[in-house]
Chain A
Amino acid sequence: MLGKTNFKLKTSSMTIYIEEKILSEISNYQKQGQFELEAGGIVVGYYDAVESALKITDMTWPQIDDIRGRYRFIRKEAGHQELMDRLWEQSGYKKSYLGEWHTHNQCRPIPSPIDYNNWRNISERHHNFNEQLFIIIGKISSGIWMVKNRKIQKIEEWDNDGTIM
Chain B
Amino acid sequence: MVNVQSEFFTFHNQIKLSEENQELREKRDILLNKLKKNISDEAASFTSFNQGSYAMGTGIKPNDGDFDIDVGLKFDIDHDDYPDPVQVKQWVKDALDGHTKSVKIRRSCVTVTYQKDNDPIYHVDFAVYAANNADKQMYIAKGKEYSTDEYRIWQLSDPQELLNYLNSLYDDSEDRAQFRRVVRYMKKWKNQHFNTSGNNAPTGIALTALACSYFMPHYSKDFLTNKKTYDDFKAIKTLVNNIQNAFTLTWDSDDGCFYRTITQALPVQPRNNLFEKMTNKQMNNFYDQICTMYSKFAEAEGKSKKLEVCQLMIDVFGEAFPAAVDRSYVGTSESA
Residue numbers of A with Cβ under 8 A of B are: 38, 40, 42, 46-50, 71-77, 80-81, 84-85, 88, 92-97, 100, 102, 112, 114-115, 118, 122, 125-129
Contact = CB atoms under 8 A, between A and B. Distances in A.
Q: Which of B306, B322, B335: most chain A CB closer than 10 A?
A: B335
What class of interface size applies to chain B in its complex with A?
A: 20 to 34
Given A46-B323, A47-B307, A129-B307, A81 B336 contact: no
A101 B305 CA distance: 24
A49 B323 contact: yes
Interface string B316-336: 000101111111111111111
Given A49-B311, A88-B325, A73 B319 contact: no
B148 to A, nearest CB: 51
Contacts of B311: 47, 49
Contact of A97 (B307, B319, B328): B328
In this complex, which of B10, B322, B328, B333 has the most chain A Cβ atoms within 10 angstroms of its Cβ?
B333
Given A71-B336, A114-B334, A128-B307, A96 B322 contact: no
By secondary structure, the B interface counts as: loop
Nearest to A127: B328
Nearest to B321: A49
A122 B325 contact: no
Contacts of B266: none
Contacts, number: 94
B193 to A, nearest CB: 16
The 6 closest A-B pairs by CB, nearest first: A97-B328, A114-B336, A128-B325, A96-B325, A102-B335, A93-B324
B307 to A, nearest CB: 5
A72 B336 CA distance: 4
B333 A74 contact: yes
B314 interface: yes
B324 A92 contact: yes
B335 A40 contact: yes
Given A49-B319, A96-B325, A128-B306, A72 B314 contact: no
A126 B325 CA distance: 12
Given A92-B10, A97-B328, A47 B334 contact: no
Contacts of B331: 77, 122, 125
A80 B330 contact: yes
Contacts of B335: 38, 40, 72-75, 100, 102, 112, 114-115, 118
